[in-house]
Amino acid sequence: MTTEPTIATVRAPRSRSRRPDQTPPAPALPADLDALLRRMRFPYLRAAAPDVLATARAQR
């Protein structure tokens, strides 16, 4: 009775010394948008907005 090799035995082991891809930090929010989000009391949106805007600009 022979057994088929499983995916785990076929894959090459991953190197632990590799670092994940590092992306540059997102640019700061424009002052008027930051002021608006502060006035509307959206701290979580204000924290996430730079990354969301950078992604939207990159993907057009």
What pLDDT shows up at residue 44? 92
CA 23 to chain centre: 8
Q: Would you list the DSSP string of 1-43?
A: ---PPPHHHHSPPPPTTPPPPPPPPPPPPPHHHHHHHHHTT-H
**pLDDT tens digits, 14-60:** 656 555 667 788 888 899 999 998 999 999 999 999 999 999 988 98
Q: Is 30 left (phi over 0), alpha (psi -120 to 50) or beta?
A: beta
More reliable by pLDDT, 27 or 12: 27
Its pTM stands at 0.53
What pLDDT shows up at residue 38? 92
